[in-house]
Chains A and B, each alone.
Chain A
Amino acid sequence: MKLQRLWLPTFGFAIVLVICAGIPLASVYNRGTSESTLRLSDRELELPPGQEQGDQENAPLTLHLLWRVETADHVGSATADASSTRAAWITRSKLAELGIPSGIRPNTFVSTYLVLELDRRAHARAVLRACNLASPSRDAGTCEFEIKKSSRLYVVDAGRTVAELRGQYPDRAHYAIVSGVIKLSRDLSPGEPEGYVSSLSVDTVQGLEPLRSAIDPTTGKMLWRRLQAGQYFDAMISFGRRLEPWNLSVVGRESEVVSPVETPQEGLERGFSFSPQ
């Protein structure tokens, strides 16, 4: 009888214990081995929208990974919402590789592994498209934005296993593999299916000092204001065994990161052309 009365409280305390001990242990396991480490800047780490509203609460600063997707129609996606941008690389053959049947229902979401590329071919192509002198629709503002402000982090591929993707993208300083979701729709035309990168399973990292909280404890000023006023930073973001990111360091920088304008040698091999259509 006494045992019967005790088992519910025991089970209750056990659940609390499992959660409180399990989460740090899972984190330790994740951080045990770094699968990849990217050096991101303020261009790729966005402050959350809630904290840009001038909220004065001393909440922890959560940095959002600002990722992009290369579009199929060659239009720059710097200002577009990445999750609503049709991904050029989601093709019928890619879906077959992922083992997704050809008969797709509208708005089908599929969990898969995604490849994040930092400042490589996809971004070089985006810069070139925006800054191509031969293009009649060239806009100086867009070009400058692509060179100085826009994110250089692109979701460029998907695969069924981490090992398979790592074989294709061995550079762990520029390519990270993460869990994510792609959204598929039925063909509007008899050609390729419509595919979008819906989300990454974890696209936030906690800020480290000096960007740990939303406000500066010494001055009481909002840190995000200070950052937006022209302070730049670099953050080393690692992705661990569970492919979940964490923040290794945040270091301030005096000047902004400028992307070079050069023709990517590998660009044409994937069927992209740089001339406007």
Chain B
Amino acid sequence: MKIANVDNDATKIATREAAQGRIDQIEIFERELEQLRTDRVIHLTDSQVTAIDSYHRHIIHELTARYDADASESGRQLSMSMRIVSLIGALLLGSSVFVFFYHFWAAFNVATQTLLLCAAPTSTYALALVVRARDRTGYFSRLSAALCYASFVLTVVILPPLWDINLGSTSVLSCTAFGFILAYEMRSRLQLCAALIGVLIYGATLITILEGAPWWFFFERPENFYLGVSILLVVPSLISQRHYADFETLYRLFGIIILLGIFLILATWPSLSYLDYGAHTVSAGYKIVVLTAGAAGIYFGVTRRLPETSFVSSLSLLMLIGLEACDWLLPKLPAYQFFLIMSVLAICALYVLKVLRGRVTEHAARAAQ
């Protein structure tokens, strides 16, 4: 029997995550097809069933061979365990490198120390590249990437004081750039998280330096993080991330969490703001901003099907309402009345979300028709 376009279908897939998604889709289709046949909704001849089955078996075989994707539930559970072990292993490996260096460090002279510090990221990066070329699962390449990143950060932290040099915010910039390289090279979400945190910090240090303050006071003013947040929110729309599973979501998630976090912090502690219009005005202004941004985030998340955006936005709104309630009601009311009012507020919030969910479902049903 001729199996049409199997190779074509499998070669369209570029990542292990996409391959796993395709296999999951086939499994769901097979279960639904079985149900439809049992309920006698459709009738397929044996040859048709065999053709579909062979087609799917070929795709599954191709994808498991090429990307080591899991074709069974037990395999998927083991993969999850491997992912957790890979993360823990990465942390342990990074720690072991640090402790090893720390324990024996002073036994070496400066030249040997410098050589070791430079050899560590170079060799681990080369190792990570070799492992990536041979590792179909990606677990070992991510593990080696984490080891490489730990070595690089160690070098950036230890080498400057060894030579009595202050790198300043360049250390953050170099760690961020290297984090991005490893993230895209190894398709590692962990490295991307490190790089995104680096973008936020480095953006904040640039604003801090412009203000005339030393770079390490970047955390003094939450508004310093606006530059980094803007970059995180804009980059995915400028540079496509579709070949990298979850990367776009991570950019958006980091951007929105930090943005709404800044708004909430400044609404609560307005003295941290650059705006010099009085604490009350700044606080009120930022509360309005949280309400507007939260509502916009929920709408945007629901309409664009970005669940993490709507989740974070609704969480920020609830936090604002909770903080305001604590601020206004807690000093004035006895505890039982306060908690009663808070529970009523929670029920109201639940009702609003239920109405919203109903409208979204209705909208989706209409779109399907």
Contact = CB atoms under 8 A, between A and B. Distances in A.
Interface residues of A, number: 45
Contacts of A15: 174, 177-178, 181
Contacts of A20: 114, 117-118, 122, 155, 159
B155 A12 contact: no
Contacts, number: 109
A246 B164 contact: yes
Contacts of B121: 16
A111 B271 contact: no
B47 to A, nearest CB: 42
Contacts of B271: 106
A205 B156 CA distance: 17
B277 interface: no
B239 interface: no
B125 interface: yes
B160 interface: yes
Contacts of A201: 166, 214
Contacts of A77: none
A226 to B, nearest CB: 15
A110 B212 contact: yes
Given A20-B118, A60-B105, A12 B164 contact: no
Given A215-B106, A244-B166, A111 B214 contact: yes
A181 B220 CA distance: 14
Interface in B204-224: 209, 212-214, 217, 220
A59 B106 contact: yes
Contacts of B365: none
A176 to B, nearest CB: 14
Interface in A14-49: 15-16, 18-20, 23-24, 26-27, 30
A8 B185 contact: yes
B106 A12 contact: no
For B160, B166, B174, B177, which residue has the most chain A Cβ atoms within 10 angstroms?
Answer: B166
B181 A105 contact: no
A9 B159 contact: no
Nearest to B274: A105
B155 A19 contact: yes
A199 B174 CA distance: 24
A8 B181 contact: yes
Contact of A12 (B102, B178, B217): B178
A205 B164 contact: yes
B165 interface: yes
A233 to B, nearest CB: 17
B-side interface mostly: helix
A109 B211 CA distance: 9
A214 interface: yes
Interface string B74-114: 00000000000000000000000000001111110000001
Contact of B165 (A23, A62, A107): A23
A151 interface: no
A256 B182 CA distance: 53
Interface string B285-308: 000000000000000000000000
B129 interface: yes
Contacts of B178: 12, 15-16
For A15, A61, A206, A245, which residue has the most chain B Cβ atoms within 10 angstroms?
Answer: A15
A12 B181 contact: yes
B159 A19 contact: yes
A95 to B, nearest CB: 12
For A23, A212, A245, which residue has the most chain B Cβ atoms within 10 angstroms?
Answer: A23
Given A12-B125, A60-B105, A60-B106, A244 B165 contact: yes
Nearest to B125: A12
B184 interface: yes
A199 B184 CA distance: 38
B161 interface: yes
Contacts of B220: 107, 109
A121 interface: no
A23 B159 contact: yes
A248 to B, nearest CB: 11
B355 interface: no
A195 to B, nearest CB: 15
A60 B104 CA distance: 9
B167 A105 contact: no
Given A12-B181, A24-B114, A60-B105, A30 B165 contact: yes
Contacts of A60: 105-106, 162
A201 B122 CA distance: 29
A57 interface: yes
Contact of A16 (B114, B122, B163, B214): B122
B106 A58 contact: yes
Nearest to B119: A20
Given A30-B165, A58-B105, A109 B217 contact: yes
A214 B159 CA distance: 18
Contacts of A19: 152, 155-156, 159, 174
B213 A110 contact: yes
B276 interface: yes
9 shortest interchain CB distances as A-B pairs: A213-B106, A27-B163, A20-B118, A246-B164, A109-B213, A12-B181, A58-B106, A202-B166, A181-B214
